[in-house]
Chain A
Amino acid sequence: MMTNTLFRAVMGSLLCGGFLHFSLAQEFIQDLGNSTVIAEQSSETILNGLREDEVLKDEKLNRKISTTIAETIKNEPDIAIRSMGPAAARPVIKGLSSSHVTLTEDGSFCGDMSATSPDHAVASEVLTAHKLRITRGPQILAQSFATAGGVIQVNHQDIPYDDSLFHSNIANYAETGQPGFATVISANANVHGVSLKGEVSARNMGDMETSKGTLKNTDIENRSIAIGAAYSLEHFKFGASFRSFNSDYGIPGGFIGGHPNGVDIELSKRDFTLQGLYIPAARPDTLNVIFRYNQYHHKEFETKKYVGAEFAVNQANLRIEKFIANSGPFFGIHLGTELDSRSVEMGGYVFTPPTNSYAASLFSIASINGWDGLEITLSARLGGAFFRPRESVVADKDAIEDRNFALWAFAAEFSQIVAPGKFLTLDVFRTTRAPTIEELYNQGPHLAAYTYERGYHKLDDESGYGAELEFRDYGEHFNWRASTHITWFLNHLAPRATGDTNWSQLLPIYQVSGDDALLMGANASIETSAEQGFYAQAGASYVCGFYQNENWSDMPQIPPFHFHAEMAYIWQHVRAGINTEFALAQNRLDRYEQRTPGYITFGALLEFHWSLALANYSIVLRGDNVFNADVRNHLSRLKSVMPEKGRNISILAKVEI
């Protein structure tokens, strides 16, 4: 509700030709009362206000909810999916994946291993998310050094800063494309000033049905529980939460060198979070401290009896963030620091030595306006990453080398109103990231990924310089936006197929290499602005990447041109529509990479929303790929074995009390 109000106010301010400034920001914060997460004040610039319309929440989220976070946001601008089965799907932003894309839950790290290998699932249940946001622009530096990629924020609201007497939510999701269901039940209550939250969720889904038949060993079984408590004093808010997530899922077989029946994976994640907020009465400045301790455990089995690969991660993270509403010419200043300690231990048939890593960083984001309507946001992040591998029988002694990386990144965003409702924005940035433990020290097969992976302990950090230009037009009948981006990478780190095979395991060898590369792309979208009646929306994304060599050869794992469109009619409580999605064939390939044909799918949607007896009800019926098209995702390892999900009818039923 607050964010709607904020967005409308920002839009109103913009359409009047004005800008959100300190006094307006202060007004909003006074409106927040005791019941709102103060951290949401980050939307104090023009562009962040506008970007609110890209956040998936409420009905928009219900409409798109699917099996995973990646599936749910797949039609957002510049988003693609890297996967190896329906469970192991992870979002890709502007063609960048792995640790270029950071996932956060409730403002802190997600704490899984989904960035390290395509068979590792994102350890977060999408049905429990209240909001999904893809962070763009300088705000990325509040969470990550990788400005060229992005941050996906999952909001569970596990620490319940909620002073309503009682609030509960029940949601059920079922589908035929992967027969099964998902359920979440959550309740918030306020007892004597203490806000409490409890939530349980379950997901049981069978093998995926494709247009070519059932793809065996793609089942998913997720369980999660979350509890949280919050207490407010006059100027302080304290909260704590615990979230447990367990998942058993399958990776199908059929790959060269793979087990014919595939691999079963069990993972568990435990997050314990403490948060403290200081909110002075006189000024809207805040101090936010988050401590999260996380345990992650992951096992891979070729047969039920034996562990083939095992990972245990213990991670602690302290994040301190100061928000200053106004200081000199600047407004909306965020100053922060983050300290991180991570211990990774491997067992079974994994060739990475146990490693401790540490990271420390400082970040700041500040905005300034004036100069004839120009608004500038500047952000920077400075820090270091330190890796301490321990001796191991599986690692070459020469490769056991401590590595330290000094990292710095900056971003500057220039937003200019060029006419009423029309905005032009230019981002320029430096991106960087340290290599991961796997990229530095791994030297062996990865059971479920069906690859033999070679890291290199001498790797340098990745860096690059880039720019993005965006135009937005909020008109009477249509809203449209278009953007184009380019990044010049120095030492872009990516695992690339070498064409060699490990003959002992018969697995293709992938070597992590650092190469200079150019990545560029564009996206555009248009939608009608009416809230009722006829609605239409369309969007397209394209990205291409080249390595700097004699032939400017193509980078691997780049998604092809993707387009989606929807037409609907919206009554007061009902929405009915059809949609289509297509991707062109991907013929721009790295060496030894496989071409992927294009596809087109059609779908339909019917939604009902109504209120009755203090409760809001929603039913969303969706038909995806209704003509059972053969869909091959270029970023999926499955494409050589089977297509993606075929015809799929899904239903989401939700009650909020």
Chain B
Amino acid sequence: MKKIQCLAIALLCSLFAACSDSNSTSTDQHEHFEAEGWNLYWPDRKLAYSVYQGKEDTSLETLRVNANCLSEHLTVKFLDDEKKEVSAPKDDEHTLGWSIGDESILDIEACGSWGFHLKGVKEGETTLTLKVKHHDHADARTPEIRVIVDKALKAEDCPFQDDDDDD
């Protein structure tokens, strides 16, 4: 009988010991980047897309690219709470990320830290959400941006030719 009692106590003690292992978070907390709006610029500093506090600038044309082609380089800038343009974070922890509604229509080619090209895959319409990636999450994100992929062109007919100048 004593053996059984000792066994029961030993079993429970071992479970208690297992339970007392440190229980702490495996991820850390970090400072975060906040943005009230986003501006996307073409290489000639012409505004391609703008959103501030959730309201998109509807006077701008919808982003377009032809299937089989890359768009011109788009540069990302951010807007603060006074609608002033601020630079993108310069540290290594923040990077540009994105999600695409239908990846069979559109792709993205990153170019530099805060730039990218739209890459048409096939004719159609989809959405693009840009994000400021920070560790395991997004510090900021755009609403879904409408993107139209026009008919496919041969590589030599694409309006923009990738000449490795973008960097």
Pick from B20-28, B109-117, B154-162 the stretch touching chain A: B20-28
Q: Is B139 an interface residue (CB 8 A)?
A: yes
Annotate A496-517 by CB proximity to B: 1 below 8 A, 0 otherwise: 0000010111100000000000
The prevalent SS among residues of A at the interface is: strand
Q: For B20, B27, B54, which residue has the most chain A Cβ atoms within 10 angstroms?
A: B27
Q: Is A397 an interface residue (CB 8 A)?
A: no
Q: Is B1 an interface residue (CB 8 A)?
A: yes
A192:B140 contact, CB within 8 angstroms? no
B15:A227 contact, CB within 8 angstroms? yes
Q: For A192, A310, A349, which residue has the most chain B Cβ atoms within 10 angstroms?
A: A349
B25:A504 contact, CB within 8 angstroms? no
Give the contacts of B1-36 with A (CB-CB under 8 A).
Answer: 1, 4-5, 8-9, 11-12, 15-16, 18-20, 23-36
Who on chain B is nearest to A303 by CB? Answer: B136
Who on chain B is nearest to A395 by CB? Answer: B29
Would A505 and B12 be within 8 Å (CB), given that A307-B27, A347-B27, A347-B29 are in contact?
Answer: no
Q: Is B37 an interface residue (CB 8 A)?
A: yes
Q: Is A462 an interface residue (CB 8 A)?
A: no
B26:A310 contact, CB within 8 angstroms? yes
Taking Cβ atoms with an 8 Å cutoff, the residues of A that contact B are 191-194, 196, 227, 229, 231, 240-242, 260, 270, 272, 293, 295-297, 302, 305-308, 310-314, 345-351, 392-394, 444, 447, 501, 503-506
CB distance from A166 to the nearest CB of B (A): 15
A325 to B22, CA, bound (A): 42
Would A505 and B141 be within 8 Å (CB), given that A227-B15, A272-B19, A394-B30 are in contact?
Answer: yes
A593 to B155, CA, bound (A): 52
A293:B31 contact, CB within 8 angstroms? no
Show 30 residue pairs from A and B whose CB-CB distance is below 8 angstroms, ordered by the A residue: A192-B1, A194-B8, A196-B8, A229-B11, A242-B19, A260-B99, A293-B20, A295-B23, A306-B137, A307-B27, A311-B25, A312-B23, A345-B24, A347-B26, A347-B27, A347-B28, A348-B29, A348-B135, A348-B137, A349-B139, A350-B29, A351-B29, A394-B31, A501-B54, A503-B52, A503-B53, A504-B35, A504-B36, A505-B138, A506-B141
By a CB distance below 8 angstroms, the chain B residues around A347 are 25-29
Q: Is B89 an interface residue (CB 8 A)?
A: no
A506:B54 contact, CB within 8 angstroms? yes
CB distance from A232 to the nearest CB of B (A): 12
CB distance from A356 to the nearest CB of B (A): 13
Known contacts A272-B16, A348-B29, A350-B29; 17 additional CB pairs below 8 A are A194-B5, A194-B8, A196-B8, A227-B11, A227-B15, A231-B5, A306-B135, A306-B136, A310-B25, A312-B24, A347-B27, A348-B135, A393-B30, A503-B35, A503-B54, A504-B33, A504-B36
A258 to B32, CA, bound (A): 18
By a CB distance below 8 angstroms, the chain B residues around A193 are 1
Would A314 and B23 be within 8 Å (CB), given that A272-B15, A348-B137, A349-B137 are in contact?
Answer: yes
A24 to B92, CA, bound (A): 74
Partner of B29, one of A297, A313, A393, A506: A393
What number of residue pairs across chains A and B have CB atoms under 8 A from each other? 113
CB distance from A191 to the nearest CB of B (A): 5
B4:A312 contact, CB within 8 angstroms? no
Taking Cβ atoms with an 8 Å cutoff, the residues of B that contact A are 1, 4-5, 8-9, 11-12, 15-16, 18-20, 23-37, 52-54, 99, 134-141, 143
Who on chain B is nearest to A394 by CB? Answer: B29
Who on chain A is nearest to B143 by CB? Answer: A506
By a CB distance below 8 angstroms, the chain B residues around A312 are 23-25
CB distance from B51 to the nearest CB of A (A): 9
A191 to B18, CA, bound (A): 26
B137:A302 contact, CB within 8 angstroms? yes
By a CB distance below 8 angstroms, the chain B residues around A392 are 29
By a CB distance below 8 angstroms, the chain B residues around A314 are 23
By a CB distance below 8 angstroms, the chain A residues around B136 are 305-308, 348-349
Who on chain A is nearest to B81 by CB? Answer: A503
Would A504 and B19 be within 8 Å (CB), given that A242-B12, A307-B27, A392-B29 are in contact?
Answer: no
A107 to B33, CA, bound (A): 45
Q: For A193, A295, A296, A504, which residue has the most chain B Cβ atoms within 10 angstroms?
A: A504
A447 to B32, CA, bound (A): 14
By a CB distance below 8 angstroms, the chain A residues around B54 are 501, 503, 506
B37:A503 contact, CB within 8 angstroms? yes
B53:A501 contact, CB within 8 angstroms? yes
A297:B23 contact, CB within 8 angstroms? yes
Who on chain A is nearest to B36 by CB? Answer: A503
CB distance from A318 to the nearest CB of B (A): 15
A306 to B26, CA, bound (A): 11
Q: For A314, A351, A503, which residue has the most chain B Cβ atoms within 10 angstroms?
A: A503
By a CB distance below 8 angstroms, the chain B residues around A308 are 136-137
A310:B1 contact, CB within 8 angstroms? no
CB distance from A630 to the nearest CB of B (A): 27
By a CB distance below 8 angstroms, the chain B residues around A504 are 33-36, 139-141
Who on chain B is nearest to A230 by CB? Answer: B8
Who on chain A is nearest to B101 by CB? Answer: A260
Who on chain A is nearest to B37 by CB? Answer: A503
By a CB distance below 8 angstroms, the chain A residues around B30 are 393-394
By a CB distance below 8 angstroms, the chain B residues around A270 are 18-19
By a CB distance below 8 angstroms, the chain A residues around B11 are 227, 229
Who on chain B is nearest to A229 by CB? Answer: B8
Would A240 and B12 be within 8 Å (CB), given that A194-B5, A302-B137, A312-B25 are in contact?
Answer: yes
A346:B16 contact, CB within 8 angstroms? no
By a CB distance below 8 angstroms, the chain B residues around A295 are 19, 23
By a CB distance below 8 angstroms, the chain B residues around A305 are 136
By a CB distance below 8 angstroms, the chain B residues around A241 are 12
By a CB distance below 8 angstroms, the chain A residues around B34 are 504
A307:B36 contact, CB within 8 angstroms? no
Closest A-B pairs by Cβ, 5 of them: A347-B25, A306-B136, A192-B1, A347-B27, A349-B137
A241 to B54, CA, bound (A): 53
Who on chain A is nearest to B133 by CB? Answer: A306
By a CB distance below 8 angstroms, the chain B residues around A302 are 137
Who on chain A is nearest to B140 by CB? Answer: A504
Who on chain B is nearest to A296 by CB? Answer: B23
CB distance from B77 to the nearest CB of A (A): 15
A181 to B157, CA, bound (A): 58
Who on chain A is nearest to B51 by CB? Answer: A503
A194 to B23, CA, bound (A): 32
A293 to B13, CA, bound (A): 13
A194 to B37, CA, bound (A): 67
By a CB distance below 8 angstroms, the chain A residues around B20 are 293
A348 to B135, CA, bound (A): 8
